[in-house]
Amino acid sequence: MIVSERRQQVEASAAKRLRIAMLCTPLVTAGGAERQFLEEVRSLRALGHDVTVLTFRLSDEALFVDGVVREDIDVLRARGGWGGQILALRSVLRRLRPHLLVSHTSPELTWLATRGSGVRYVQYHNSPPFYIGEAANPYMASRRYRRVFPSVRGGAAGYAAFAVAPRMGPRRRIEAELRTALKHRALRDAVAVIVPSERTVRELRLLHGVEATVVRGCLPASVLSESVPHAGAASPLVLSVCRLDAVKRVDLLLRAFPLVLREVPGARLDIAGKGPERERLESLARTLGIDGRVRFLGYVPEDALWECYAGADVFAAPAMADFNIAPYEALAAGCKAVWTTEMETDPSIEASGRVFVAAPEEEAFARALVDALRAPSGAAIDLSGMTWDGRARKLDAIYEGLASGVAA
């Protein structure tokens, strides 16, 4: 009996198609990047790959995707900052000998840890290089980024607020030059670079001379195959779901809402999510005199989130993102959606009558919200190309091609 079970385990192991190490660190919050990573883990395992999940920091909050538990993740121990992480990662890669390392973390760490190891890696770049401004972007002070930025500044409305030549001290500039040089080498040495948008493709081409591949997908197939009842609300309801960070621009939504109330007096706004901006945003709502029409829901668990979508009329996504998961979930649940001109999607989705696009300015965003609240439900949207499983099949083809030495 024991021999038979062992034979079954050996046969199951032999049937695995690729040994893939997947790295994402830290894994500490329930955000879009964490969801994308964990959904990829789940889907690639379902396709028969032997996937080892690696991180240096893990919290239970990040374990919110069905099918992935703490025991599935190897938490690497490291001392001494980046140096310790590099040594720890090199050690585990020598032991695993993966066909591919798929990195959802720092390109610099990935390159330094794989240098001379023979491990081929796929590097994710989950947002445009200029997605955040100079204060938080470790590369913006480098000569390479400052040289390219003027040529892409018109590519996204939010870029206008960024300084062309940010003022930084010598230490910050040296750090920026070093990290940018390492990132440049890391992206050029990757066997593939995966991104969410053509905007990111263009910017990486200009900055680093690499040709990235766009892969999108963010919906459970079950929500498309099942009938999701969309009741709407007794009074017009706008919903926002995001981490409360400055880059999400929830303050823009709040400043636009008094203008919405002038034309739709009964409208309400629910904001789901937590983050460092919550206190400031609550104070802003009071200052604007709309705190009686706005609810801050805090973190909403997955099972309750779809109920929020089903109860809302319009989903608002004011962030500067080129890709965002929550608006697609809302569309799948029957909501209309308002997002900014910076968001990139398929033309058929944008032309469905359920998507309203606005410049990231108070009046323009308010106008789009009013139009969406007043508009009929619109045509059904074909979101079959936006599932997690469909995304995994695209990645599967890329990874198989890379592992066999065939260009993806």
- At 111-124, the pLDDT tens digits run 999 999 999 999 99
Residue 229: asked if its preceding bond is cis (omega within 30°), the reply is: no
Same domain flag for 236 and 141: no
**Residue 5: predicted pLDDT:** 47
Question: Does residue 184 contact residue 205 with C-beta atoms inside 8 Å?
Answer: no
* pLDDT digit string, tens, across residues 25-66: 999 999 999 999 999 999 999 999 999 999 999 999 999 998
Same domain flag for 65 and 208: yes
Give me the mean pLDDT over the 294-315 stretch.
94
**Residue 236: predicted pLDDT:** 96
Give me the mean pLDDT over the 5-27 stretch.
71
**Residue 16: predicted pLDDT:** 64
Question: Does residue 51 contact residue 80 with C-beta atoms inside 8 Å?
Answer: no
Within a domain: residue 5?
no
Least confident of 5-19, 25-39, 190-204, 270-284: 5-19
If DSSP codes are grouped into helix, strand and coil, which group holds residue 380?
coil
Q: Distance between terminal CA atoms of the chain? A: 44
**Which pTM does this prediction carry?**
0.91
Same domain flag for 374 and 398: no
Interatomic CA distance for residues 369 and 316, integer angstroms: 8
Same domain flag for 34 and 48: yes
Closest CA to 139 of 177, 82, 103, 113: 177
Would you tell me the crossing angle of helices 250-263 and 278-287 to the nearest 10 degrees?
A: 30
Question: Does residue 154 contact residue 227 with C-beta atoms inside 8 Å?
Answer: no
**Residue 137: predicted pLDDT:** 85
**Residue 204: predicted pLDDT:** 98
Interatomic CA distance for residues 186 and 17, integer angstroms: 26
**Residue 10: predicted pLDDT:** 40
Same domain flag for 193 and 69: yes
Domain of residue 121: give its range. Answer: 15-217+389-403
CATH assignment at residue 393:
3.40.50.2000
Same domain flag for 154 and 103: yes
Closest CA to 183 of 215, 140, 149: 140
**Residue 228: predicted pLDDT:** 59
Within a domain: residue 316?
yes
Interatomic CA distance for residues 337 and 317, integer angstroms: 8
**Residue 2: predicted pLDDT:** 41
Same domain flag for 36 and 150: yes
Our count of domains for the chain comes to: 2
**Residue 7: predicted pLDDT:** 44
Within a domain: residue 209?
yes
Type of residue numbered 329: E
Mean pLDDT of the chain: 91
**Residue 3: predicted pLDDT:** 40
Q: Is residue 406 over pLDDT 90?
A: no
Interatomic CA distance for residues 109 and 186, integer angstroms: 9
Q: Is residue 1 over pLDDT 50?
A: no
Q: Is residue 14 over pLDDT 50?
A: no
Within a domain: residue 65?
yes
User: CA dihedral in degrees (139, 36, 365, 199; nearest 10)?
Assistant: 50
Within a domain: residue 299?
yes
If DSSP codes are grouped into helix, strand and coil, which group holds residue 219?
strand
If DSSP codes are grouped into helix, strand and coil, which group holds residue 69?
coil
Give me the mean pLDDT over the 160-180 stretch.
82
**Residue 303: predicted pLDDT:** 84
Question: Does residue 328 contact residue 253 with C-beta atoms inside 8 Å?
Answer: no
Q: Is residue 166 over pLDDT 70?
A: no
Same domain flag for 297 and 199: no
Interatomic CA distance for residues 187 and 124, integer angstroms: 9
Q: Is residue 8 over pLDDT 90?
A: no
Same domain flag for 279 and 360: yes
**Residue 375: predicted pLDDT:** 95
If DSSP codes are grouped into helix, strand and coil, which group holds residue 115?
coil
Within a domain: residue 300?
yes
Within a domain: residue 1?
no
Q: Is residue 91 over pLDDT 70?
A: yes
**Residue 13: predicted pLDDT:** 46
Of the pLDDT bands very low, low, confident and very high (cuts 50, 70, 90), residue 227 is low
Q: Alpha helix (H) ranges present in 195-234?
A: 198-208, 221-225
Within a domain: residue 28?
yes
The pair phi, psi for residue 69, each rounded to 5°, is: -125, 170
Q: Is residue 331 over pLDDT 60?
A: yes
Strands (E), 111-165: 121-124
Same domain flag for 180 and 289: no
Same domain flag for 253 and 275: yes
* pLDDT digit string, tens, across residues 124-142: 999 999 887 767 788 988 9
**Residue 51: predicted pLDDT:** 98
Supply the DSSP symbol for 158.
Answer: G
Instruction: Give, in order, the Cα–Cα distances in Å from 77 to each of 37, 62, 106.
Output: 21, 18, 17
Least confident of 17-21, 36-40, 132-136, 365-369: 132-136
Same domain flag for 213 and 230: no
Q: Is residue 11 over pLDDT 60?
A: no
Of the pLDDT bands very low, low, confident and very high (cuts 50, 70, 90), residue 378 is confident
